[in-house]
Structure 1
Amino acid sequence: MSIAFSPKQVDNIGSDITGVEFELNEGTIRSGKTMSDIFKMARIYAKSPDRDHLVLAYNQEQAYRMFIDGEGFGLMNIFKNNSEIRHNENGDHLWINFGKGNEKRIYYKGGGKVNAVGSITGMSFGTVTFLEFNLLNKEVIAESFRRTLASKMRFHLGEQNPPAPNHPNLELLNQFEKTNTYRFRHWRPTDNPILTGERLKMWKQQCETSDYLLKRDWRGERVMPEGVIYSMFDTDKHMKNAIKGRPIETFFVADGGQSDATTCTFCLVTFDRGQYYLYQLANYYHSGADTGVVKAMSTYAKDIKLFKEWCYSKWNYPHYNYFFVDPACKTLREELHLIGIMTDAADNNSRDKISSNGMRIEVGIERVQNLLTKEVLFLYTGQNEYDFYNAIKEIGMYVRKDNGLPIDKYNHYLDTLRYAGNYFTKTYLI
């Protein structure tokens, strides 16, 4: 395995952690922090006298993909000759044999939901690595700190893209800052050696289309998301693990792309005390650009069919009345028809009156904003599969450019949310 590291990465990998109990690597996407964090922790695992360690991401799949596999450069590849994936009563882990009785178990788990606390309660760890620290559940983070109190070499490594300055998870770092056991390292795109000068130039130009993106995605600064289109979205208000009301109907909304994301959401309408509610119960999401794996539309159609079957195996709700797909996504609709899923053209606002800024989709955006403000639209968090990890990321990054127009990115799930909002509003609220 041959990798060229930047000076920042070399410093991160080899830095002395004596006296440091929490180290936070924070900065832009694709700045090289995760890659160097993998090699940093590989060195620490070999040195640590503790047997068990933990890697936390929003869900277990993310923990595996980002750190254990690491796009071919993860822990399982670094230790490919002396490790294997195993499972015991405490969960999935990477077992590493360093020889002479020195064995390590690197557990990888999801930490995005409060019920994930149960998966680590009663366990003890030498170190904990937090991937996308700002997306993890606060109670899970706090519990993981307690799980390392008996460690012989206590250390926590966190990494994240810049959060809002007042993000609640940052409060948990006060205990380390006030005891001088905290280290912060800032990352920029220029710290990643795989990015060429021309690619960096292009990236900067794209970020300069928005002051928010320039600060967050180029400079790596913590900024208040003033330009976020769905700024009224609140995880405490709009993410629920219980469903209230009498089920009225179910329906699906989907959109497709190969480089862009293909996504499909299972929706439920309920009625309670004179009010209709719209629940988004589960979400299938795959991005060729993000994962590096581009699928054919026929494969996406099969994935969505499996997703549909999973939804009805989990919930005994009425069969769907509509399977809405963006009418512009003709190939996905055709492939779904071939495997027996008849689709309906989603209301993508193409027939609405053009708004003052020339964008028909503003009608749909305003409807979703209204549903969030009225608190009649919720994302369901009670499932372990097909969660809303990517949905939350899109909501936090979907912004307006300086000219007031919505940026044409981070909007794949959000397009389908708009389709669902259009149908729900026209059918039940008007």
Structure 2
Amino acid sequence: MSTPAPSPLNLSPKQERSIAESTARLNIWSGAIRSGKTIASLLRWLIYIANAPRGGSLVIVGKTSDTIARNVFDPLTDPAITGPIARRIIYTRGAPTANILGRRVEIISSNDARSENRLRGMTCAGAYVDEATLIEREFWDQLLARLSVKGAKLFATTNPDAPNHWLKRQFLDRKHLLDLRHWHFTLDDNKALDPDYVKALKAEYTGLWYKRFIQGLWVMAEGAIYDMFDPDRHVVDELPPMERWLTVGVDYGTVNPFDAVLIGVSVPDDQGQRRIYLASEFRWDSRAERRQLTDAEYSEKLIHWLDNIPETYGPGTFGVRPQWVIVDPSAASFITQLHRDGLVPQMGDNSVNDGIRTVSNLLGADHLRVHRSVAGFIDEVGSYAWDDKRAEKGEDAPVKVDDHALDAVRYGLHTTQAAWLPMLQPAF
């Protein structure tokens, strides 16, 4: 089969060079988000498929079937990226196989307990790995062992992680000892991006996330997590009118404190900008109160708190019913109780680092403000820090101390991101 026609995209010199020079057994693109690494790697994967050795399977691997569909097949089937080749890529979201340029390609999500078993029976002629740092090391090693057809190659992309991550220490740092080529991309390498978008993205990411997702650096998580939080900037004494009462985020506790934070999106200000506000907080510390509450009692107190929040719809009004109550996913029985009591509970997304990044971006972009009454969040935010011992092992994790309001806010904001994100665009 002949090599596919070139993409209609205007590729950067770094993208072109990485496509032309990715001839090693292992080829890895790492770096910033939106830096062009994924497009370059996918175009190279298409070229490889067109000429791949026969007698072995071709495999696409990602963390989940959703991320594979979004990160791999959405670009591959976009005519603006792959031109007429897009018509020769046949894939149904969630399917175990695809057909690309007439070749059957196995689709494997690495978080499925059965996925490694699928690998064990394979002889592979080529593999594409999306978000390689999210793949378990055992799965990666098994995949490499399966690339046994003569001339087989692997192509992988990843955002940077901790400098002690196994992919960096055991592979990228040892590339001179391996048949491996690596390309590092920064946000500024993608000249096709709108300069205003690049400026906005740089402003939104701060600290650890700026270094990894803008500069593409493999850096250790250290120090304060929300180091961009400034009480003079982010804490307010008065709330503006709310356009939408979005959610209550709940961190459920029995021995530890129970914390709930009401979150709203304001009407546009004079510049047409809406913001998210942490408007009110309910907290029950069973140690301080010397009494633990049942699920029914927590629900009753939560409803009483919401019914008595003042001026939620203007001066002299009381009470609010947000669209959702987003609850700590470990509190299944409490979610059931809230359903019985007429609220709309939903299990929170507990992707810790993704949630921290969501809150960080909002604070960094000045899209999040905190009413002074939300004392739990204000008290906890300054001491919320990365765990040094886990960072030394290549893991990004916060110290799990005094984080109850922070967790409640993280659940509430990260889980409802699809609802509030479009509202933050300037209204005029």
TM-score calculated relative to the size of structure 2: 0.53
Quick check: 1:142 aligned with 2:129? no
Residue deviations 1:100-144 (CA, integer Å, cap 9, x gap): xxx412222212466532232211221122211111111111111
Aligned to 1:125: 124
Residue number among 65, 68, 75 corresponding to 1:70 in the alignment = 75
After TM superposition, give the deviation of residue 146 of structure 1 in Å: 1.1
Letter in 2 for 1:332: Q
After TM superposition, give the deviation of residue 198 of structure 1 in Å: 3.3
Residue number among 37, 40, 46 corresponding to 1:36 in the alignment = 40
**Alignment root-mean-square deviation, CA:** 5.1
Would you say the 8 A contact 1:164–1:224 is kept in 2? yes
Aligned to 2:103: 104
Rounded to whole Å, the distance in 2 between the matches of 1:87 and 1:415 is 27
Rounded to whole Å, the distance in 2 between the matches of 1:107 and 1:277 is 47
Would you say the 8 A contact 2:248–2:322 is kept in 1? no
After TM superposition, give the deviation of residue 266 of structure 1 in Å: 11
1:14/1:413 CA distance change after superposition, 3 Å: farther
List, as ranges, runs of 4+ consecutive aligned residues in structure 1 with deviation greater than 6 Å.
74-77, 262-269, 275-278, 318-321, 323-329, 348-351, 366-370
Rounded to whole Å, the distance in 2 between the matches of 1:206 and 1:45 is 38
Would you say the 8 A contact 2:76–2:86 is kept in 1? no
Would you say the 8 A contact 2:225–2:384 is kept in 1? no
Residue deviations 1:393-415 (CA, integer Å, cap 9, x gap): xx95999xxxxxxxx9xx74375
After TM superposition, give the deviation of residue 171 of structure 1 in Å: 4.2
Residue number among 62, 65, 68 corresponding to 1:57 in the alignment = 62
Aligned to 2:30: 26
Letter in 2 for 1:361: F
Aligned to 1:229: 225
Aligned to 1:6: 12
After TM superposition, give the deviation of residue 9 of structure 1 in Å: 1.6
After TM superposition, give the deviation of residue 42 of structure 1 in Å: 0.3
Letter in 2 for 1:226: E
Residue deviations 1:219-249 (CA, integer Å, cap 9, x gap): 221111114639xxxxxxxxxxxxxxxxxxx
After TM superposition, give the deviation of residue 155 of structure 1 in Å: 1.0
After TM superposition, give the deviation of residue 33 of structure 1 in Å: 0.8
Equivalent residues in 2 for 1:398-409, closer than 5 Å = none
1:128/1:345 CA distance change after superposition, 3 Å: closer
Rounded to whole Å, the distance in 2 between the matches of 1:31 and 1:205 is 16
Quick check: 1:332 aligned with 2:323? yes
Letter in 1 for 2:110: G
1:397/1:159 CA distance change after superposition, 3 Å: farther
Who wins on radius of gyration, i.e. which is larger?
Answer: 2
Gapped runs of 5+ residues in structure 1? 98-102, 231-256, 279-317, 355-359, 374-394, 400-407, 418-430
1:198/1:160 CA distance change after superposition, 3 Å: same
Rounded to whole Å, the distance in 2 between the matches of 1:416 and 1:161 is 20
After TM superposition, give the deviation of residue 96 of structure 1 in Å: 3.0
Residue number among 176, 182, 185 corresponding to 2:180 in the alignment = 182
After TM superposition, give the deviation of residue 2 of structure 1 in Å: 3.4
Letter in 2 for 1:216: R
After TM superposition, give the deviation of residue 168 of structure 1 in Å: 2.7
1:223/1:40 CA distance change after superposition, 3 Å: same
Residue number among 211, 216, 221 corresponding to 1:220 in the alignment = 216
Rounded to whole Å, the distance in 1 between the matches of 2:114 and 2:170 is 19
SS in 2 for 1:38: helix
Rounded to whole Å, the distance in 2 between the matches of 1:107 and 1:164 is 30
After TM superposition, give the deviation of residue 365 of structure 1 in Å: 5.7
Aligned to 2:166: 168
Would you say the 8 A contact 1:6–1:193 is kept in 2? yes
After TM superposition, give the deviation of residue 362 of structure 1 in Å: 4.0
Aligned to 1:15: 21
After TM superposition, give the deviation of residue 62 of structure 1 in Å: 0.6
Gapped runs of 5+ residues in structure 2? 1-6, 227-242, 259-294, 307-311, 313-319, 326-337, 348-368, 389-394, 400-405, 416-428
1:38/1:353 CA distance change after superposition, 3 Å: closer
Quick check: 1:116 aligned with 2:115? yes
Residue deviations 1:36-61 (CA, integer Å, cap 9, x gap): 21111000100112352111111121
Rounded to whole Å, the distance in 2 between the matches of 1:205 and 1:219 is 13
Aligned to 1:194: 192
Quick check: 1:85 aligned with 2:91? yes
Aligned to 2:49: 45
After TM superposition, give the deviation of residue 368 of structure 1 in Å: 9.1
Would you say the 8 A contact 1:352–1:363 is kept in 2? no
Letter in 1 for 2:151: M
Rounded to whole Å, the distance in 2 between the matches of 1:178 and 1:38 is 24
SS in 1 for 2:154: strand
SS in 2 for 1:62: helix
Aligned residues: 292
Rounded to whole Å, the distance in 1 between the matches of 2:213 and 2:410 is 19
1:77/1:147 CA distance change after superposition, 3 Å: farther
1:177/1:365 CA distance change after superposition, 3 Å: same
Rounded to whole Å, the distance in 2 between the matches of 1:127 and 1:3 is 25
